[in-house]
Amino acid sequence: MLAKIIRTLFSRYVDGSIISETPQEIKRAGGGFIRWRRLVEWVREGDYRAFEDVSRDFFVAVDDIGSEYPTDFTRAKLYEMFDASEGKWRVWTGNLSLEQIEQQFDPRIASRILRNNSVVVDVDVPDFNLRLKTEGH
């Protein structure tokens, strides 16, 4: 939910703004929201351009990392995505703690989460949809 709200704010206030300008090129802020599992499926199906497009975006909210079974392929793609995201705005969501990411995926991936003055917010609350169910709504 938070990632979608951030994406909405980005769309409203930043999307399309000039982020750099040279005599040869004007770069504008662009971005979106994508579920990690869906991106992995596209790459597995051979759509490598989708991964490259997401990697190039100025801002991306990547939802639900760790929702797939960790394989060498998903570890490699997650590692590659974090490398390609350096110097860009990213919001990563998932149900795993930093320690769980380190154990289930790779310590290098957990390390990349902390790079470049990244802010890691560990929100320890029940899943929104499950919370509604238990509250009787």
Digit-coded pLDDT (tens) for 51-62: 888 888 888 888
pTM, to two decimals: 0.71
Cα first-last separation, the chain: 18
SS3 call for 113 = helix
Where does the pLDDT of residue 26 fall: very low under 50, low under 70, confident under 90, or very high at 90 and above?
low
Domain 2-12+29-134: assigned CATH number: 3.40.50.300
Please write the tens of the pLDDT for every residue from 69-106. 888 988 888 888 888 888 888 888 888 888 888 888 88
CA–CA distance, 43 with 50 (Å, rounded to integer): 7
